[in-house]
Amino acid sequence: MGNKNYCIIMAGGIGSRFWPVSRTQRPKQFLDILGTGQSLIQQAFERIRKVIPVENIFIVTNVLYKSLVTNQIPEIKPSQILLEPDRRNTAPCVAYAIFEIQRICSDAIILVTPADHLILKEENFRNVIIKALAFADANDSLLTIGLKPLRPETGYGYIQVHETKADDVKSARIKKVKAFTEKPDIALARVFIDSGDFYWNSGIFVWSLETIMKAFEIHLPDIYVAFKKIYTHSKPSQQQIDAVYKDCQNISLDYGILEKAGNVHVLPSDFGWSDLGNWSAVYELSEKDTKGNAFIRGEVMTYNTKNCLIHLPNNKLLIINGLDGYIIVDSEDALLICKMQDEQKIKDYVNDITLKKGGKYL
């Protein structure tokens, strides 16, 4: 690929749904959630470097995680790690990165991807990204990568497309977006599946620098002006970045730009994607024994137990008797035992821990 292709890896989240393994000081993206031998951000980096030159990959993360990025991805130079002082969602994150890229390459084509997603079909992924980069280079379009929904999932965002017309785009597979819908209830998700014109929103985007700059200027002018001001003459200091972030609204790319813009397209794809948003997603993707139990690390002996996810430290033995459909996750100082059907309550548990125990277990 040409040197004008760049990538922004967004790696600033805290992954509270994966408590007690994911903690404030070492969140989900820096963990080997699936027991593969690599953290999620390491897997993302290895995927991307096969399409984008290493020197053109930028990682945007919280200032707390600078050393984690440096240790896990030593190929990345310090100048390629962009540090956020606060969490302000994806729009300020991407604005920061595109202004940094503009200093280097004014005609860049940019891939934006989360650090914590799973992709099983990596060759398919590379082919999709190559096609998306070429499309973004030739079209004034904000391109999203959509996945054909496999089930009525309530935890994902959905993209509705217009019926493809010959003059819509140069590629018949790329479709114009009609609407975005965030995390529908189960009834609406079933309607989306049955209609056939909805895709899961992967949170992976491709666009030219010129196109995304224009979109920020039109739809999020406050963020655009704030970053443009500090990037006018030279690379800003970290103190200047910190000051801008204090005034940035907390807003996602989807809500701030993509739901408002008229030049949004989707490339339907299939590359074994999951956003790994919760322990249930890990369970679905893991190998299971004849009783439907998934074991990730540690030593486990089960009796009258089925349909459970067990995630342990490597040096621990666990005996389980009489459980059905539970999440059991053990860490050095905290143990979670929760019905899988009640998993959405984990964020509530984390909030309660904050109120009753402070930050000790977070």
Residues 6+ apart with CB under 8 A from 36: 43
For the chain, the average pLDDT equals 91
pLDDT in tens, 61-97: 999 999 999 999 999 999 999 999 999 999 999 999 9
Asked if the 5-142+202-264 domain carries CATH number 1.20.1260.10, the reply is no
What 3-state class would DSSP assign to 295? strand
Scanning the structure block, which residue is given the tokens 């940094």?
100
Question: Which pLDDT score, from 0 to 100, does residue 187 have?
Answer: 87
pLDDT in tens, 196-239: 788 988 999 999 999 999 999 999 999 999 999 999 888 999 99
Distance in angstroms (rounded) separating the CA atoms of residues 360 and 362: 6
pLDDT in tens, 152-206: 777 778 888 876 554 444 444 888 888 888 777 888 888 888 777 889 889 999 9
The closest alpha carbon to 275, from 87, 94, 147, 129, belongs to 147
Q: Assign 1 a pLDDT band (cuts: 50, 70, 90).
A: very low
Question: Which pLDDT score, from 0 to 100, does residue 109 have?
Answer: 98
Q: Checking DSSP bridges between strand 57-62 and strand 5-10, what pairing results, if any?
A: parallel
pLDDT in tens, 86-136: 999 999 999 999 999 999 999 999 999 999 999 999 999 999 999 999 999
Question: Which pLDDT score, from 0 to 100, does residue 165 have?
Answer: 52
CA distances from 85 to 99, 101, 102, 177, 313 (A): 17, 19, 21, 34, 32
The closest alpha carbon to 13, from 62, 71, 76, belongs to 62
Neighbours of 37 (CB within 10 A): 8
- What are the helix (H) ranges across 105-259? 122-138, 186-195, 209-219, 221-230, 238-247, 253
Neighbours of 199 (CB within 10 A): 24
Question: Which pLDDT score, from 0 to 100, does residue 144 have?
Answer: 95
Task: Report, as an integer, the average pLDDT of 127-146.
Answer: 96
Residues 6+ apart with CB under 8 A from 67: none
Distance in angstroms (rounded) separating the CA atoms of residues 235 and 218: 24
Considering the chain, tell me which residue range(s) the CATH 3.90.550.10 domain(s) occupy. 5-142+202-264
Report the share of the chain in percent with pLDDT over 90: 69
Task: Report, as an integer, the average pLDDT of 329-352.
Answer: 92
* Residue type at position 17: R
Question: Which pLDDT score, from 0 to 100, does residue 194 have?
Answer: 75
User: Which parts of the chain are beta strand (E)?
Assistant: 5-10, 57-62, 81-84, 109-114, 118-119, 142-147, 158-161, 175-181, 198-208, 264-269, 273-274, 294-296, 299-303, 309-311, 317-321, 326-330, 335-339
Q: Assign 300 a pLDDT band (cuts: 50, 70, 90).
A: very high
